[in-house]
Structure 1
Amino acid sequence: MLGDFLGRRAVCNAEHSQSGYNVLLKMVAPLSREGRFFSAVMFSGSHRQSLRELQQENADIAAIDCVTYALLQRYQPQALAGLVRSAGARPRQGCR
């Protein structure tokens, strides 16, 4: 399923973000072609803003921290409206 995003646009938090950038890069690395997977990568500054970029169709995929996702799901479900969780890294403590 992750392979379906080959050539699509990614939105990430920041280059230094483990959960909002590095995890996504690690997941797509085996699927990349000639060192590239996404057609474009933009940086939003936060998980919440990455979700907004998805909802506004400015990007096709994002990596969202599991704690942020769970909190939004519980307290602001509208922040996830129209979005689909398509893949996930192995759960870590506190993310189940």
Structure 2
Amino acid sequence: MDIQTIDAHAKSVMLAYKSGILSIHGNRVHLLGRIFDELLTETGSQFKVVDRDSEDYPFEVSFIHNGITYYAIYSLEEIKNKFGGNMDELITAN
């Protein structure tokens, strides 16, 4: 691989980040919340909410489309604003 190829890939990654794709790990794509919401609406996919081991962002909301998991993370306040107050009913038991 040469520097021009790496430059092209780096520019693609920077453009993806500016578009709301925060990271990609394997088949998991971490998105900004507003981008996640748009894609969830567009695909009409079923979503799940799971607890995370984090004080700042203790919730992950995700859906799977074409074998790729798209997700966003939320604080307690954000998740309450998004889904209302009854979190126990939203959280998917794993």
Same fold (TM over 0.5): no
TM-score (norm 2): 0.29
Q: Which has the larger radius of gyration?
A: 2
More strand per residue = 2
TM-score (norm 1): 0.29
